[in-house]
Amino acid sequence: MATFRDGLLAGKTAFVAGASSGINLQIATRLAQAGAAVTVLSRSPEKIEAAAAGIRATGAKCIGIAQDVRDHDGVGAAFAKAADTHGEIDILVSGAAGNFVAPFNGISYNGFRAVIDIDLVGCYNVMRQGFQHLRKPGASVITISAPQSLHPYPFQAHVNAAKAGADMLVKTIAVEWGPQGVRVNSIIPGPIADTEGMNRLAPTPEAMAKSAKGNPMQRLGTKDEVADLALFLCSDAAAYITGAIIPCDGGLCLQGAGRVGG
C-alpha cells in the first residue's frame, strides 16, 4: 500500500551519521523508502555494511562508510566519498552517540572525553565537514538529541553536557546558515523501544516498564515515530522551520528531569 512517504524524496540524497543500528538506521531506511539515495556511516565496518546492504535490499541506493565521527579529517573524506557517489547532499542527519550510566565522580577523564568527543565534537565534525557538500539553497540538517539536553538527569553528566551543547550548535548554525537556504533542526527522542540507548538506561524489564508507565502517553515510543518526524523535517512541508528543538517523546520533557530508566 502506498503511503505519504513514498516518492516524497525522489531524486534527493541523504547522509546519516551513526546509522548502523537503532533510531538512526530507521531514519536512514525511511529516507530511502521515500526515494532518497542514502549514505550511512558508523565506526564498525561490519555493522555499517550490513545496514547499507539491508537498505539496498529494499531497492534503494545506499553506500556504507566505516568512519569514527571523532576523526575530523576522516569525516571530511567520508563526505567527499558520499558526494562523489550520490552528488550534493539534500538531507544531513547527525546522530552518532555514546552513553553509559555513571555518577559524575565515577566518570573518568577518558570516559567524559569519549562521550563529549562523540556526541558534541562529532556533531561539530559532521556539520563543519558536511556543509561544503550541502545543496544550497534547500538542504535540511537534523541532529538527534536527547531529553538530557533540556534537563539535568543524574548519572548522565557527560551526556547532559554534550547534548545541551549540540542543541546550542543547532540554534547558532540555524541563524548563520539560514541566509544560504539551509535549515537546521534537532529531534529529541523520548524513551524509544528496542534500542541500545534504552537498554543501557533501563537494563531490566522492571526499569523498562517503569519508564513506559512514567511517560504521559503511558508507553515507549517507536523508531518509526522518530523516523516520520525526521521525514517531515526534511520535506517541503517544513520549509519555514529552522532552529527548532523538537521533542518526539510522548510529553516526557514536560515533566522535567527524571532519573534514568524512569
Task: Give residues in contact with ligand NAP (CB under 6 A).
Answer: 18-24, 42-44, 47-48, 68-70, 95-98, 118, 122, 144, 146, 189, 191-192, 195-198
CB atoms within 10 A of CB 117: 19
CA distance 19 to 170: 20
Comparing every residue's Cβ against ligand COA, the nearest one is 98
- Residue 200 binds ligand COA, judged by CB under 6 A: yes
CB–CB of 182/136 below 8 Å? Answer: yes
Q: How far is the CB of 182 from ligand COA (least distance, A)?
A: 26
Q: How far is the CB of 55 from ligand COA (least distance, A)?
A: 20
Residues 6+ apart with CB under 8 A from 209: none
Sign of CA dihedral 201, 207, 208, 213: negative
Q: How far is the CB of 129 from ligand COA (least distance, A)?
A: 20
Among 108, 179, 236, 240, binds ligand COA (CB under 6 A): 108
Angle at 211 between CA 208 and CA 217, to 5 degrees: 125
The three cell numbers locating residue 166: 549540540
Nearer to ligand NAP, 113 or 171 (CB): 113
Q: How far is the CB of 84 from ligand COA (least distance, A)?
A: 28
The three cell numbers locating residue 223: 523508531
Q: Which residues bind ligand COA (CB under 6 A)?
A: 97-100, 102, 106, 108, 110-111, 114-115, 196-197, 200
